[in-house]
Amino acid sequence: MKRSQFCNKLLTSGIACGCTLGLTGGSTLASALSGHSVQGAGQNETPCNEKMDFTQKWVKRFFEIVDHKLDKKTRTELMQANGEACAKGAYGEITTGNQPATIDEIDKTIAKWQQALGKENIYRADNIVYFNYAGNPKGLKISDGYCLCPMIENGPAQLSPTYCQCSVGYVRYMFEKLITFKPVRVELLESLRAGGKACRFRVMI
């Protein structure tokens, strides 16, 4: 999906592009395309496609600086903590008092997830679960070159590997909240924006 098509799709469905980027307000582009004013739109607000271009350039530049200024341990912990916070926003706080899931319970949950994700995208081998990002509910797919992070879903083509440590924190929290009910360790095997062809994780349960 081209950037212009993506913006048009969001606007015609009544979703302000600012929501995708975690921003507020409407867009003068929405007004121009729809012929109607968008509630909350500022007369001089930057159009959606320009915001997306700026965001992608900013992210790429910022993580080049992060890599230069921070040691690997610090930047890894920082991004994983951010991923955990993102997952917490999506799934809520981890409920205290839950008993750790048994292997049978974990397998039952994995079987349910396989129905939606496919058996190749989540499966257990001994004490390791292999998990792959596949696509999002809007239909964008990793296999088509789309990152599942809305901020950089269609670019830049390649980022610092530091950025993708955010997904490590996200996947770890997601497993602990929804599958294992106990701490897990997550290793990033491959990521799209770090030059890979997929986003693959190894989860030690």
- Segments of the chain with pLDDT less than 50: 1-4, 6-40
Half-sphere exposure of 42 (CA within 13 A, CB side): 8
Ordered by start, the domain boundaries in the chain are 3-51, 70-204
pLDDT of residue 74: 98
pLDDT tens figures, 155-193: 999 999 999 999 999 999 999 999 999 999 999 999 999
Query: Model-level pTM greater than 0.75?
Result: yes
Give the CATH number of domain 70-204.
3.30.1380
pLDDT of residue 37: 44
pLDDT of residue 87: 98
pLDDT of residue 111: 98
